[in-house]
Each structure stands twice: as structure tokens, then as C-alpha cells.
Structure 1
């Protein structure tokens, strides 16, 4: 079966040699393709290859329809804008996840090469952190979510004061936290409706699956593995899969829990409308007294609402304005000067019906 190299996934089996510029095959037939093989094919501008109709695990291979906006392979993602780099990593995550679905082991060097250059752009992340949800699409929410959690978790680790090695590890944990979803039926992950009770039970197994996929990887630190297993635990013991509480939950997992909840609230999904980031932060403030670590929530809110005076915003009634004062005790409820009435100042603390829906660049 002749397919485009962009349609390949790990586990595809070559049935014909891929020839380079020499007489020696670039990749010989019968090779089971890995992510590295696919990258090589794309770097050598190999357009089409002949592969088996079955994958290495025996499943039928169904090439996905190529998107019109498929991006070309990038030699050095750091040369891209931050948003382009983000989308590049989302596509890489999608390819990795398809490999995990087909039974391939997690390749930590590949994950590191994919993720670390993006996380190291901390200055760009700081500038884009509030608008990160605008990058996502509801159709590919799952793949965007995991990349965004890696970014948000690393950023929160950075704001908490962890050294670079640690906040990178926290980002790793966020990136791999949902890898166990590869063991769940795709129809459940990609559904466009609310889950049934039985499907919810199955989804709640994914932290355990994620841990099983990572527990024997020698290059992954134990703290990262714990965070992967515990990222849905809650401070009051109401989380899963172990029902842990307070001091029994690893500090990395507490960070990922906040970032996971925040991103899930602010992103539009096929069966759920998005909330504004400021609304999401107010929800986190409510949850900090029961389910979330209040210290982590406090640091997250300070990092997400540190807007300078003059920042332009849009309110829930569609009025535009700019921030003129922020009370650090109520950072989601600043004082706003309305654009159309230059002398009118609105104190959002006195108007619970209003909230900021967007920050305008």
C-alpha cells in the first residue's frame, strides 16, 4: 500500500526498500518503522513509501487523511515563532500517541528532544501563558491539552522557584500524564458527547495505565512517575485512582492537578463550552479550600494575573477597557476604565455579574 510519509505512524512495516541517493537502501524492507525512521524519511524528503496493510501488532493500518495545513518537517523548531513551535509539538505528540496506541514503548530521548526546546522558551511562555487556550482546537483538544499541561506545569514550577532541572521534570510529568489513554478505546477519547457512567469508570483508569507505561523506564525519575500516577488525586481524598489526600500526594502532582483543571475549563471541547481564564481562576479559588493545594493555587493565580496597568481587556458584556488597579487579594476583579466612557471606572469587585473574558494584545 503506497502512502505519503506524513501519513506514517510508528508500527508501520515497509514492504519495499526506501532508496536514497546511493544504491544502498535508506531503510530496508521489512523494517518496523519508529518515530526516528519517520523523521528520517521526512528529512530526506521521501514523498511516498510502500507499507503493509497491517501494523507490527497485527492491527489493520488505516492511513489518516492528510490535512491541507500539514506542516513541513522542521529542522530547528526554535527558529519558529512560539505559536508555530507549540503546534509543531502538538503534531509530534499526536504521532507519539498513535505509536503508543499501537503498542510501542515510550521513547524518553524522543520525548525529551520534542518537549525540552519548547519548555526552555520560558520568556515566550510567560508572554503567551494567558492566551495559550487560543491555540487549541476542539477537534484535537486531547493532543493540545497534554502539550499545554506540560507548558503550564513547567511554568508553575518555574514560578514556584524550582531550579530548571526540576521544572523541566514537572513539564515531563504533565506531558506524559495522559499517555495511558492510549490503552483506552479511541471512541471514548474522541467522543462528541458526554461519557456514560461505564466510560467514566474506564477513563479513570488512565493514571494507572500511564504509570504502567512509565514505571520501568530507567531514565525517568521516580518523582515524575509518582506525579503521573497521582495527577488526579485531590487534597480531600476525593480523587483517583488511589484516593490519596494532602501530604500523601507528591508536590509535582499537586502542580499538574491545578494546571489540568484550569486548561480543561478554559478550552472549548466538542461537548463542552469554554469558560474565560478569569472565570476558571475563580473556580480554582473555590476548589483550593477542599480539592487543590492552596499554596499551588495562590502561586498559579499570581503568575496568571500579573497584568501591568494599562492592559486592555474585554468584559463579559462585550465592553472594552483597560486595567487601572488590581487588588492582590482579588486579582481577578481589578478596576477597569471603560474605553467608550474614558472617565468611568468600573470596580469588578462590586459587579459579580461581570468578568473579564479576554486580554487583548
Structure 2
């Protein structure tokens, strides 16, 4: 229901309406409260996302994942709400892009990416005069595609360090995007995505933020059934604190125990 409410607001923004941050606050605060009572659901949001309505699911999901990370990083409840509202608003500027980009089925071209790279600036302009969110959250909306090593976009962000809200929303955004089914890309398992963020993208994201999401995910994963890249179905039976993206699993058919930390050619393709 929250996704559909956001979708209605997004359509209004496409038609030229102003962003009413108070409306986003009304959506996100009760949703965040409920999510914190059942936090295991927050990390499974990618299961509910469909590629046709990705933009709308993504907005709500960034908000919930961002708020959850803030909560686990011991932010006070007011700042948890701020992170949730900011995350939800990060992509409001997508409403200013040509609709063909939002619905495109094939791979994006270099020109497409150039247009999409403008959306954080649009988002920031649409919410910068709000009295409901902190200045640092407004900046986080602008910076959510910025990276600590100076890459990302908009490029002019290179000159100053990113604040906590920016770091949190950046991780929430990329985690949900990479674990979700897209029109032009298959979803990847949270374990694989977290491994990529942690290792392949080392230096781009704040380590404390990534570790917070990683340890939270590990806590809820014991006992989960997973599908491996070789097609086997297995159960997670142990997660070593030093190798949280590669747990010890038991293959359902054979009972074989495999430590994915040692057996590097295997990885979790999907959480069932």
C-alpha cells in the first residue's frame, strides 16, 4: 500500500506538483516503526520488488534500509526517521526524467546514463526548502550516488567528505538496487552483493555502514534456505564473524557440509 501511495505522489511530481515532504513523513514513520519490530523483513525487501514498479519499491526500500542502518548505528529515533524520509526522497528527481528512461527494457546507453546522472540534483532541488528534514539529509539526497573515493556523481562532490546520512543512504541505495530484479538486469543475492560492496568496491563506501548492514544480515540468516550457483539447495548453519558473506551451509539432498569461505567457486545465488 505504501508503494502505491508513493507511486501516486510520484505521478503528481511528474505532472509538475511540488514534493510534500510531510506526505512522505506520513508514509515512512509508521512503516519504519513496524519494520523495526520485525527487522528480518527489512533485509528481504528485494523479494517484494517487481521490475515494472521498481522505481516506487526502490524509494520505500531505500528509506527502510537506511532507517534500519541508522538504528543499528545507535542513532536516536528522530535521526532514524530522518534517514528513512531522506532515503525515500533520494530518487524523487527521477520524476523529472523522460518517462522512457524509467520504463526502458533494454540496456541503458551512455546518453541514458548521462540523463539519469542528473536525478540527484533534481531530487535536491525538489526538497531543499523543506523544514521537515535536516540540512544534512537534504545533502544526503544530493550525495547518495557520491562515493568516498571521489567517484560517483554528481562529480563536483569530490571536494568535501560525506556525512553520515549520505554514507548510509548511499549503501542502502546500492544494496537494494543490486539485490532487486531490474528491467535490464537480474537480481543478485544479498550475500553476493554485500561481498561485492565490501571487497570489489572497497574504498567507495563507509566500512562502518557496510559492516552494520552485513552483521545485521548475518544475524537473520541462520536457518535460511538458499540456492547455490550450482543449483543445489542448502541451509545456512553457521556464519563466521570473519567471513559473513560466505557462511557454512548444509546441502539439503546429500547433507554435505560446505564452508563457502574455503570453497570459493561456490556462492549463494538466491535466498529462498
Scaled by the length of structure 1, the TM-score of the pair is 0.71
User: Aligned match of 1:196 in 99, 109, 112?
Assistant: 109
Name 1:289's counterpart in structure 2: 202
Name 1:348's counterpart in structure 2: 260
Aligned residues: 272
Task: Give the whole-Å Cα distance in 2 for the aligned partners of 1:120 and 1:246.
Answer: 36
The 5-angstrom pairing of residues 48-87 of structure 1 reads none
The 5-angstrom pairing of residues 1-361 of structure 1 reads 88-245=1-158, 248-307=161-220, 309-342=222-255, 344-360=256-272
How much has 1:278 moved relative to structure 2? 1.1
Question: What residue ranges of structure 1 are gaps of 5+ in the alignment?
Answer: 1-87
Is the 2:28–2:81 contact (alpha carbons within 8 Å) kept by the matching residues of 1? no
How much has 1:337 moved relative to structure 2? 2.1
**Backbone CA RMSD of aligned residues:** 1.8
How much has 1:327 moved relative to structure 2? 1.1
Is the 2:86–2:133 contact (alpha carbons within 8 Å) kept by the matching residues of 1? no
Task: Give the whole-Å Cα distance in 1 for the aligned partners of 2:205 and 2:159.
Answer: 9
Paired residue secondary structure (1:244): helix
Task: Give the whole-Å Cα distance in 1 for the aligned partners of 2:44 and 2:19.
Answer: 30
Task: Give the whole-Å Cα distance in 2 for the aligned partners of 1:286 and 1:243.
Answer: 26
Question: What residue ranges of structure 2 are gaps of 5+ in the alignment?
Answer: none
Task: Give the whole-Å Cα distance in 1 for the aligned partners of 2:201 and 2:183.
Answer: 28
Is the 2:188–2:270 contact (alpha carbons within 8 Å) kept by the matching residues of 1? no
* TM superposition outliers: structure 1 runs of 4+ over 4 Å: none
Is the 2:189–2:271 contact (alpha carbons within 8 Å) kept by the matching residues of 1? no
How much has 1:183 moved relative to structure 2? 1.3
CA distances 1:287-338 after superposition (whole Å, capped 9, x unpaired) = 4522111111111111112146544333222323323322101012111222
Paired residue secondary structure (1:191): coil
Is the 1:258–1:297 contact (alpha carbons within 8 Å) kept by the matching residues of 2? yes
Out of 284-293 and 241-250, give the one that drifted further. Answer: 241-250
Task: Give the whole-Å Cα distance in 1 for the aligned partners of 2:43 and 2:160.
Answer: 30
Is the 2:59–2:88 contact (alpha carbons within 8 Å) kept by the matching residues of 1? yes
Where is the helix percentage greater, Structure 1 or Structure 2? 2
Is the 1:149–1:260 contact (alpha carbons within 8 Å) kept by the matching residues of 2? yes
How much has 1:228 moved relative to structure 2? 0.6
CA distances 1:11-53 after superposition (whole Å, capped 9, x unpaired) = xxxxxxxxxxxxxxxxxxxxxxxxxxxxxxxxxxxxxxxxxxx
Task: Give the whole-Å Cα distance in 2 for the aligned partners of 1:262 and 1:311.
Answer: 19
How much has 1:125 moved relative to structure 2? 4.4
Task: Give the whole-Å Cα distance in 2 for the aligned partners of 1:308 and 1:235.
Answer: 29
Name the CA shift for 1:308/1:140 in 2 (closer, same or farther; >3 Å). closer
Scaled by the length of structure 2, the TM-score of the pair is 0.93
Name the CA shift for 1:281/1:122 in 2 (closer, same or farther; >3 Å). same
Q: Considering Cα pairs closer than 8 Å and 6+ residues apart, tell me whether 1 or 2 has the greater RCO.
A: 2
How much has 1:247 moved relative to structure 2? 5.9
How much has 1:345 moved relative to structure 2? 1.4
Structure of greater Rg: 1
Out of 134-143 and 119-128, give the one that drifted further. Answer: 119-128
